[in-house]
Amino acid sequence: MQSTDSPLVMIVHGGAGNVWPQYHTAAVDGCENAVSAGWQILQRGGTALDAVEAAVRVLEDDEAFNAGIGSVLNAQGEVEMDAGIMDGATLHIGAVAAIRGVAHPISLARRVMEASVHHILAAEGAERFAAAQGFTIIPNRQLITDRRRRQYEKRVAGQEGDTVGALALDIAGNVAAANSTGGVFYKLAGRVGDSPLAGAGFYADNRWGAVATTGQGEHIMRVGLAWRAMQALEEGATAQEAADRALAVLQERVPDARAGLIVLDRAGGIGIAHCTRDLPTAYWLSGAGRPVSALRA
Ligand code: ASP
């Protein structure tokens, strides 16, 4: 491997919640595939931004996760997705909310960041932007899997989670964060969660590190969960301390909270914390020959 100024770090999560036993392997394997995709980019000297986008695209393509194809259905039986991405070098943000008919919301979020003067585009406007930018618009039903259709028909909530997120630290010391989700099951049409909101669902700043959160968006946004972890990093906390402190604030202020987060500090440390039963994660750190994955931290 080439000599690095900065350690390389790639970490992904597959959503805070309860992963049913029959989906344990899919969740862990999916996280490993995604982290490997991002890691390959970092190893070649690619950017953190490219790495998090690539990792999240893998998770969006994987029907095991609540993002892209396989997103949960809203109360009308439709898929509406949110995604956000942030470049820690520039603090530029791109996000999309309540969008339909796009297989890779994370890439559309990145395009919002790079090809518009805005940071968040929602619903039809975001879809028109996607079409104008040459994204293929697919019939929304192509995003609906049998598993999610069955869940909708039986109205089985309770398997919250499966949202995805990724963080990376590249050879040049840049960090990036990305999130993608179908949101929460049986949400009202038009509902937007924390995932596309900087400070709630994600944050990245080269000076300190990067954060991606997951769980009930209505809980996460009330305390600005991602920002809480960033603040802890600024105060000198390690990534794990920052994750723990942010989660402690959430649990103190929102007692029934269901959430989790992954954190990366600029020294290359990682943190994982959750107050749900499960938070599938995988990470790959400089010097390691393979990724490390787990269902629970
Ligand atoms: N945070 C997502 C939302 O509320 C859901 C999740 O992470 O499971 O839309």
Band of the pLDDT at 252, cuts 50, 70, 90?
Answer: very high
Q: Tell whether 130 is covered by a domain.
A: no
What pLDDT, on a 0 to 100 scale, did the predictor assign at position 158? 57
| Cross-strand pairs, 204 | 210
Q: Tell whether 113 is covered by a domain.
A: no
Q: Tell whether 48 is covered by a domain.
A: yes
Q: How many of the other CB atoms lie within 10 Å of CB of 105?
A: 34
Q: Tell whether 122 is covered by a domain.
A: no
pLDDT > 70? residue 182: yes
What does pTM read for this prediction?
0.97
Q: Tell whether 266 is covered by a domain.
A: yes
Band of the pLDDT at 161, cuts 50, 70, 90?
Answer: confident
d(CA 22, CA 221): 31
163 belongs to the catalytic site: yes
Percent of the chain with pLDDT over 90: 92
Q: Tell whether 161 is covered by a domain.
A: yes
Listed range (18-22, 205-209, 230-234) with the worst mean pLDDT: 18-22
What pLDDT, on a 0 to 100 scale, did the predictor assign at position 28? 96
From 4, 145, 163, 238, active-site residue? 163
Q: Tell whether 134 is covered by a domain.
A: no
Say how many Å lie between the CA of residue 105 and the centre of ligand 1: 15
DSSP H helix total and E strand total for the chain = 8, 12
Closest CA to 170 of 44, 24, 33, 16: 44
Say how many Å lie between the CA of residue 5 and the centre of ligand 1: 35
d(CA 160, CA 163): 9
DSSP annotation of 22 reads: G
Q: Tell whether 129 is covered by a domain.
A: no
Average pLDDT, the chain: 95
Residue nearest to atom 9 of ligand 1 (CA): 183
Instruction: Return the H-helix or E-strand segment holding 148.
Output: helix 146-154
Say how many Å lie between the CA of residue 218 and the centre of ligand 1: 9
Question: In this predicted model, what pLDDT tens digit does every residue of 10-65 receive, in sequence order?
Answer: 999 999 999 988 889 999 999 999 999 999 999 999 999 999 999 999 999 999 99
Band of the pLDDT at 159, cuts 50, 70, 90?
Answer: low
Count of domains in the chain? 1
Residue 196 or 158, more confident: 196
Band of the pLDDT at 2, cuts 50, 70, 90?
Answer: very low
Segments forming the whole domain that contains residue 276:
9-70+80-88+144-294
Band of the pLDDT at 157, cuts 50, 70, 90?
Answer: low
CATH number at residue 285: 3.60.20.30
DSSP annotation of 71 reads: P
pLDDT > 50? residue 225: yes
Q: What does 171-213 look like in DSSP terms, one character per residue?
A: TTS-EEEEEEE--STTPPTT---STTSBTTTEEEETTTEEEEE
Q: Which of 184, 187, 197, 225 to mutate to test the pocket of ligand 1 (most atoms within 8 A of CB)?
A: 184
Percent of the chain with pLDDT over 70: 97
